Chains A and B, each alone.
Chain A
Amino acid sequence: SAVISQKPSRDICQRGTSLTIQCQVDSQVTMMFWYRQQPGQSLTLIATANQGSEATYESGFVIDKFPISRPNLTFSTLTVSNMSPEDSSIYLCSVDRLTNEKLFFGSGTQLSVL
């Protein structure tokens, strides 16, 4: 299994500020993904974090709002920029090690924007 450390676990932020969420994996992984889960909803894929190149964003998500870094095979960050109350959600990092193997998920970041 892969051990994923996601930080912070929760935060309360003011409107207009930005928050960077970190995802650290205990071993090298092929793919890293960022998801959002709004209250009572399923998970929505934000983007695939590509090592050494720009992230690939899903429809409805843009780099200016959710910049992502992936400097190496074990680490990625997601920034939620210029936050509004609508950004209040749980943000989850997930990884897989091998092609078409199972995904592992971090414990999530509970974000509340006032």
Chain B
Amino acid sequence: DAKTTQPNSMESNEEEPVHLPCNHSTISGTDYIHWYRQLPSQGPEYVIHGLTSNVNNRMASLAIAEDRKSSTLILHRATLRDAAVYYCILRDRDDKIIFGKGTRLHILP
């Protein structure tokens, strides 16, 4: 399985944008980049995914480097409810999803 590297933890102030980085230098051409987050005491929830182009949805934006070896999840205006563990995952077509350690995001009021 292709691997991703994320910082263990990050901090951000409430109402400011947050940029969560992810490195995936061994990504293959058919790997999609997925982001999930896990709020305290809950199962993971989907955030966003993409292949090559940048993606936007109501929760976040995903910026994918031109060589696809890295990506950044952008939360445009963090709230306290965004405090969670964020997982960057590579998924090949209908393959299984393997979770790494993720980034624990702390939001400061």
Contacts and interface: CB of A to CB of B under 8 A. Distances in A.
Given A92-B43, A99-B94, A106-B43, A43 B99 contact: yes
A45 B97 contact: yes
Contact of A31 (B44, B85, B94): B94
Contacts of A33: 96-97
Contacts of B97: 33, 45, 94, 103
A42 interface: yes
A30 B74 CA distance: 30
Contacts, number: 48
A1 B60 CA distance: 18
A4 B97 CA distance: 18
B17 interface: no
A53 interface: no
Interface residues of A, number: 21
B106 interface: no
Interface string A17-60: 00000000000001101010000001111001000000000000
A99 B49 CA distance: 13
Interface string B74-101: 0000000000010100010110111111
B43 A102 contact: no
B98 A100 contact: no
Contact of A102 (B49, B93, B98, B101): B49
A107 interface: yes
B93 A99 contact: yes
Nearest to B93: A100
A34 to B, nearest CB: 11
Given A31-B94, A100-B32, A100-B93, A42 B43 contact: no
A92 B101 CA distance: 17
Nearest to A96: B94
A44 B94 CA distance: 18
Interface of A: 30-31, 33, 35, 42-45, 48, 92, 94, 96, 99-100, 102-108
Interface of B: 32, 34, 36, 42-46, 49, 85, 87, 91, 93-94, 96-102
